[in-house]
Structure 1
């Protein structure tokens, strides 16, 4: 086949897909819209444009040039939003450091990413003090603080963020360059070994923003993001760009609220006072908000909430629906920028009861525009039938997937084996196209030669009225190969009233009714005080295996 390329007029402008294009229209169309930090600091989009330009002048004045890497350690803030734009817009790379990693892991990511400049919130100075003498690449440090008084520190700061911005010019002409230039880097801890660096270009971030906008903005009846919304992330901005939604919210010119360091009372207060209507978080955060005493006095009706990062149980979904929250699943991973699917309900589905709606809202959902998602046989690579029963691995192609792991050719090739990105998630797909993840490939439990889904067992146990939290892992067994072990945290008022045998019997009733594999009769239940989480709030099954299967 011979490509017929379009003829180009020499003076025609070849419009590159750069992050600066996301900032252009809201400043013109809605310049007085607010960006709020913790309910205390309020800026407009007009201010945002000027502050981004001032920040660009600060960065270049400190010697940052195209191709350099600027790292940040901060909570969700207006400063972070400004860095989301200013750093890549000057052609540099933004490294969003996961502040919940251990000091040694943070040190590894700083050196591996070859950070040149590091902006750090004063709350993280103890971590930085601990590792600073072993950081090889950083040439300068900038202080981020909400306090008027400068903290005591041995870090040789080149200045404080607001003071540097105040002294900088508010004019900067952001250049054009190749849209495939790397814009961001961050690290995913994965399940084994050292953190792995993923990276995204300007083109990928712009196309991800457009794909998410097309999905969220055109849905018929629920979960729609529009210019009348008020957006607040309850997801760390260091984690996959807060799922990319700040870029979308900025492009739409809607009011944005940034909470800083999370606390349930502050989040609920901001939802109420700033009239937040759109957010996203992991299931553990939603559970924390619903159980907080302040939640009883806050009207949550009308709040739209994407749940991702881990499976949402139907019990939690129903509880949120009862409070009026339009809750639905979003699916993706660090390597996918991240959003690939949303669970969407038709008007007919929305007419159902909360329990009936939860069946769909907890599904992995339907693919976004531009996403080629397939459920394939892991051995042959053949696509599985869309019958709701035939399980396989989710593999995907989309314009915004990381093209590899930074400085890790071998693992990158494994990630992209066969030309599709391998997610490691096991799923089925029904005739309507809805995907339902049944497990991670490494979390499926093989009992007497039959596969048992840990997610399915977790969902069943979450329906027990005494259960606050649950995680299921596989336990080696000489006779059966493996048997499921459920680690359960009871609600405080149920301690001593419900035992391990009661919960095991509860699950077996589902097996007796034919609703779940009969292999679950081998389930063992263990009551625990807490369940270990990863740095981004997911249940850490790696830690649980090490802790309980030794």
Structure 2
């Protein structure tokens, strides 16, 4: 490298600090397997060498189908560090969506966990780009040798055995920092999945800026060197929000739980001393309401919530267990973190209700994020926390577009801003409050009614376990809100009771009067997308057609 030249922003540089300064720190899988950072660095080097021995070249795509594991973390580093592209496959997709995403990404090699082998069996003949498969297993070597390959994938080998046979790669190439590092697919709720992709430069900038913000708050929600980290967001979903990269850069103890089983997650929180996690509200709701976790001490646990809005009732329940809970916001297209709702020390002294109001907000933008809220004419709305508009953003780590889809990419970046299609209000401090998706706003008699705000109010009723609100066509009003309510076990709330509950909030001026037109339908469950969000498209198809 010429004297005075600046090194590129590459994923391999995130490994410098932890390996050199705290090589004995642990990375734990399911409480059963433990590796030091020094061993982790060696395993990354072995994986890189093993992939190269299997013919993986710069520009090739290596895909992973696994639970949250140390193996996945090794792939986060080794694959892009040799110039290949890491495709994190969403294992919850349908067969047709799997065929489409694997073929569209042009995967060359797939590492697949035993439990996901049956997903590939019916589609093996249709994923023609894939040349090789490597098996991932949690079984012992003796058990592993006897297992049958039900999909006829003809594995080139088992991960651990191939890893141990490889000689660690001594040096990693100096790549162009704009080299593509990762790709994955955002399914949304309609149409074909769309591929988003990120470069080394984007991932490093997202890691540095997000970590700076998380770590610099005075007290609340800080992520720092003394923390113990465990993700409860699938590693296939937006790099688990990019936080495994941050945890590795910090050199903190990391705990990977494998399959999400509520009482096992709680056990790991207690036995491994987990202090920092992130998840969608659905997972937290499941963990807090599992009877096996009733006595679990969560008083040292900080939880960042994203993916969908945090209901005030769930926030209150978590805080009642001692959880330091707050909200973050982003999208698959944004790498993902754009805003955080961390509280200042002064705000921590506020009464519980006021704290909750701040913790559930979407929050303030990170450094380097330009965020605006604009009306239909593209004018920025008044910062009064009432005027609604679409959130549009710019930042150095946003996807440049959708893979092989110029038309959708142009729509995403129309006017030079990334369009989120989220409706929000903004206050005088710059903090935003997402009120809905543009497609989910309920239009009652010409007025906009936020389905999210109505859901939040209904969730505060003690007999409501889950709720989703959609717009039901109505001749006079255009639409009226239809609440699909999952009652809490052992309760039988009525429509009149819930309507009266909503009316109290209308009378207090906290909801618009259109909310009293509420219709209620009791259901066994609320349909979710593959990443645990409420699937309102599916709900409309099920209950409105």
TM range (shorter): over 0.9
User: Given that residues 473 and 545 in structure 1 are in contact (C-alpha distance below 8 angstroms), is that contact kept between their aligned partners in structure 2?
Assistant: yes
Rounded to whole Å, the distance in 1 between the matches of 2:169 and 2:182 is 24
For residue 262 of structure 1, what is the aligned residue in structure 2? 260
For residue 210 of structure 2, what is the aligned residue in structure 1? 212
Rounded to whole Å, the distance in 1 between the matches of 2:380 and 2:38 is 49
1:52-63 counterparts in 2 under 5 A?
A: 52-63=44-55
SS in 2 for 1:244: helix
After superposition, the C-alpha distances for 1:112-160 in whole angstroms (9 at most, x for unaligned) are 0000000000101111111101111000000000012232112110000
For residue 521 of structure 2, what is the aligned residue in structure 1? 526
After superposition, the C-alpha distances for 1:485-520 in whole angstroms (9 at most, x for unaligned) are 00000111113xx21221122112222333211111
After superposition, the C-alpha distances for 1:175-229 in whole angstroms (9 at most, x for unaligned) are 1011000000000001210100000000000000011111011001211011100
Shift of 1:419: 0.3
Shift of 1:477: 1.2
Rounded to whole Å, the distance in 2 between the matches of 1:186 and 1:323 is 35
SS in 1 for 2:509: coil
1:477 aligns with 2:477: no
For residue 402 of structure 1, what is the aligned residue in structure 2? 399
Rounded to whole Å, the distance in 2 between the matches of 1:144 and 1:194 is 28
Rounded to whole Å, the distance in 1 between the matches of 2:441 and 2:325 is 27
For residue 276 of structure 1, what is the aligned residue in structure 2? 274
User: Given that residues 55 and 86 in structure 1 are in contact (C-alpha distance below 8 angstroms), is that contact kept between their aligned partners in structure 2?
Assistant: yes
1:140 aligns with 2:135: no
1:458 aligns with 2:455: yes
Alignment partner for residue 496 of structure 2, among 489, 501, 509? 501
After superposition, the C-alpha distances for 1:245-271 in whole angstroms (9 at most, x for unaligned) are 000000000000000011001100000
1:238-387 counterparts in 2 under 5 A?
A: 238-377=236-375, 379-387=376-384
Rounded to whole Å, the distance in 2 between the matches of 1:214 and 1:166 is 36
Shift of 1:10: 4.7
For residue 22 of structure 1, what is the aligned residue in structure 2? 14
Rounded to whole Å, the distance in 2 between the matches of 1:47 and 1:376 is 50
1:489 aligns with 2:486: yes
After superposition, the C-alpha distances for 1:42-68 in whole angstroms (9 at most, x for unaligned) are 000000100000000100000000000
Rounded to whole Å, the distance in 1 between the matches of 2:168 and 2:68 is 24
Q: Which runs of 5+ in 2 are unaligned?
A: none
User: Given that residues 182 and 202 in structure 1 are in contact (C-alpha distance below 8 angstroms), is that contact kept between their aligned partners in structure 2?
Assistant: yes
For residue 172 of structure 2, what is the aligned residue in structure 1? 174
Rounded to whole Å, the distance in 1 between the matches of 2:46 and 2:392 is 42
Shift of 1:355: 1.8
Alignment partner for residue 195 of structure 2, among 194, 197, 210? 197
Rounded to whole Å, the distance in 1 between the matches of 2:292 and 2:501 is 32
User: Given that residues 226 and 252 in structure 2 are in contact (C-alpha distance below 8 angstroms), is that contact kept between their aligned partners in structure 1?
Assistant: yes
1:152 aligns with 2:148: yes
Rounded to whole Å, the distance in 2 between the matches of 1:343 and 1:512 is 28
Rounded to whole Å, the distance in 1 between the matches of 2:28 and 2:513 is 53
Shift of 1:546: 0.8
User: Given that residues 197 and 402 in structure 2 are in contact (C-alpha distance below 8 angstroms), is that contact kept between their aligned partners in structure 1?
Assistant: yes
SS in 2 for 1:157: coil
TM-score by length of structure 2 reads 0.98
Rounded to whole Å, the distance in 2 between the matches of 1:457 and 1:272 is 35
1:541 aligns with 2:536: yes
Alignment partner for residue 181 of structure 2, among 175, 180, 183? 183
Rounded to whole Å, the distance in 1 between the matches of 2:477 and 2:459 is 25
Shift of 1:538: 0.8
Alignment partner for residue 419 of structure 2, among 422, 430, 441? 422
After superposition, the C-alpha distances for 1:76-96 in whole angstroms (9 at most, x for unaligned) are 000000000000000000000
Rounded to whole Å, the distance in 2 between the matches of 1:491 and 1:391 is 33
Alignment partner for residue 81 of structure 2, among 81, 86, 89? 89
Rounded to whole Å, the distance in 1 between the matches of 2:404 and 2:93 is 20
User: Given that residues 56 and 172 in structure 1 are in contact (C-alpha distance below 8 angstroms), is that contact kept between their aligned partners in structure 2?
Assistant: no
For residue 434 of structure 1, what is the aligned residue in structure 2? 431
Rounded to whole Å, the distance in 1 between the matches of 2:532 and 2:211 is 26
Rounded to whole Å, the distance in 2 between the matches of 1:510 and 1:176 is 59
Shift of 1:295: 2.1
For residue 392 of structure 1, what is the aligned residue in structure 2? 389
SS in 1 for 2:57: coil
Rounded to whole Å, the distance in 2 between the matches of 1:370 and 1:543 is 36
For residue 123 of structure 1, what is the aligned residue in structure 2? 115
Shift of 1:451: 0.5
Alignment partner for residue 47 of structure 1, among 22, 39, 46? 39
Rounded to whole Å, the distance in 1 between the matches of 2:414 and 2:323 is 40
User: Given that residues 48 and 168 in structure 2 are in contact (C-alpha distance below 8 angstroms), is that contact kept between their aligned partners in structure 1?
Assistant: no
User: Given that residues 48 and 169 in structure 2 are in contact (C-alpha distance below 8 angstroms), is that contact kept between their aligned partners in structure 1?
Assistant: no
Alignment partner for residue 509 of structure 2, among 498, 514, 518? 514
Report runs of 4+ in structure 1 exceeding 6 Å deviation.
Answer: none
Rounded to whole Å, the distance in 1 between the matches of 2:246 and 2:322 is 24
Shift of 1:322: 1.1
SS in 1 for 2:520: strand
For residue 90 of structure 2, what is the aligned residue in structure 1? 98
Shift of 1:32: 0.3
For residue 225 of structure 2, what is the aligned residue in structure 1? 227
Rounded to whole Å, the distance in 2 between the matches of 1:114 and 1:490 is 45
For residue 108 of structure 1, what is the aligned residue in structure 2? 100
After superposition, the C-alpha distances for 1:347-392 in whole angstroms (9 at most, x for unaligned) are 2211122222100000000111111111111x22121121111111
